[in-house]
Chain A
Amino acid sequence: MSDTKNYILGVFDDEDVLLKAVGQMRSAGVKIHEVYSPFPVHGLDEELGYKKSRLPIAAFMFGVLGTTLALVMQIWMLGIDWPMIIGGKNFVALPDFVPVTFELTVLLAAFGMVGTFLVSSDLKPWKKANLLDIRITDDRHIMAIDLAKNKAIDSGEITKALKSSGATEVNDKKVEA
Chain B
Amino acid sequence: MQVTSSVRKPLITGGKTVHDVTEDICKQVEGKPGKLWLMAFGISAVTLAIGLIAVVMTLWEGIGMWGLNKTVGWAWDITNFVWWVGIGHAGTLISAVLLLFRQKWRMAINRAAEAMTIFAVICAAQFPILHMGRPWLGAYWALPLPNTFGSLWVNFNSPLLWDVFAISTYFSVSLVFWYLGLVPDFATIRDRASGIRKVIYGALSLGWDGAARTWSRYESVSLILAGLATPLVLSVHTIVSFDFATSVIPGWHTTIFPPYFVAGAIFSGFAMVLTLMLVTRQVFKLHDYITIEHIELMNIVIIVTGSIVGIAYITEFFIAWYSGVPAEQYAFYNRMQGPYWWAYWSMMTCNVISPHLFWIKKIRTSIAATFILSIIVNIGMWFERFVIIVTSLHRDYLPSSWAMFYPTIYDVGVYLFTFGLFFSAFFLFAKFFPVINMAEVKSIIKSSSESIEEKTAES
Q: What does the 1/0 interface line of A44-57 toward B look like (CB < 8 Å)?
A: 11001010110110
- Which residues on the A side are within 8 Å of B206 (C-beta)? 118, 123-125, 127
Chain B, interface SS category:
helix
Least Cβ–Cβ distance between B121 and chain A, in angstroms: 14
Known: A55-B221, A114-B176, A121-B214. A106 touches B156 (CB 8 A): no
Among residues of B, the one whose C-beta sits closest to the C-beta of A136 is B210
**How many residues of A sit at the interface, in one of the four size bands?**
35 or more
Q: Is B269's beta carbon under 8 Å from chain A? A: no
How many chain-B residues does the 8 Å CB contact rule pick out? 67
Q: Are B215 and A41 in contact (CB under 8 A)?
A: yes
The reply to whether A78 and B191 form a contact with Cβ atoms under 8 Å apart is no
Distance from B179 Cβ to chain A, minimum over Cβ atoms (Å): 9
Interface 1/0 per residue, A18-49 and B, CB below 8 Å: 00000000000000001111111110110010
Q: Are A53 and B220 in contact (CB under 8 A)?
A: yes
B22 within 8 A of partner (CB): yes
* Contacting residue for A106 out of B151, B212, B228, CB 8 A: B228
Q: Are B166 and A50 in contact (CB under 8 A)?
A: no
Please name all residues of chain A whose beta carbon is closer than 8 Å to the beta carbon of B69 when the two chains form the complex: none
Cα separation A39 to B438 with both chains bound (whole Å): 8
Contacts of B169 in A (CB 8 A): 103-104, 106-107
- Measured CA separation A35–B446 after assembly (Å): 19
A45 & B188 in contact (Cβ 8 Å cutoff): no
Contact residues in B for A99 (Cβ distance below 8 Å): 159, 162, 165-166, 235, 239, 242
Q: Does A156 contact B (CB under 8 A)?
A: no
With the chains together, A117 CA to B224 CA distance in Å? 12
Q: Which of A3-11, A80-88, A147-155, A158-166 contacts B (4 or more CB under 8 A)?
A: A80-88
Query: In the docked arrangement, what's the CA distance between A102 and B162, Å?
Result: 10
State A137–B22 Cα separation when bound (angstroms): 9
Please measure, in the bound complex, the distance between the C-alpha atom of A97 and the C-alpha atom of B165, giving whole angstroms: 11
Q: Contacts of B22 on A, CB cut-off 8 Å?
A: 38, 138-139
Residue interface mask A63-107, B partner, CB < 8 A = 1? 000000000011001100110001101000100110110111011
Given contacts A38-B188, A104-B165, contact A124 B207 (CB under 8 A): yes
B137-166 residues with Cβ-Cβ distance < 8 A to A are 144, 150-157, 159, 161-162, 165-166
Chain A proximity of B193: nearest CB distance (Å)? 11
A172 at the interface (CB under 8 A from B): no
Find the B residue at minimum CB distance from A128.
B207
Most buried by B among A77, A99, A126: A99
Answer yes or no: B340 CB below 8 A from chain A CBs. no
Tell me if B162 and A129 are in contact (CB < 8 A): no
Q: Which of B172, B180, B187, B438 contacts A107 (CB 8 A)?
A: B172
Once the chains bind, are A53 and B19 in contact (CB under 8 Å)?
Answer: no
The answer for the CA separation of A28 and B331 in the assembled complex, in Å, is 78
Residues of chain B with a CB closer than 8 A to A106's CB: 169, 173, 228-229, 231-232
Query: Does the CB pair A130–B153 fall under 8 Å?
Result: no
Report whether B228 and A36 are in contact in the complex, using a CB–CB cutoff of 8 Å: no
Q: B210 is contacted by which of A15, A38, A48, A111 (Cβ under 8 Å)?
A: A38
> In B176-222, which residues have CB < 8 Å from any A CB?
176-177, 180, 183-184, 187-188, 190-192, 202-221
20 more CB-based (< 8 A) A-B contacts, given A39-B442, A86-B157, A124-B207: A36-B212, A39-B18, A48-B212, A52-B220, A53-B216, A96-B157, A99-B159, A100-B162, A102-B231, A110-B172, A110-B173, A110-B177, A113-B221, A121-B213, A122-B207, A125-B203, A127-B206, A131-B191, A131-B209, A134-B191
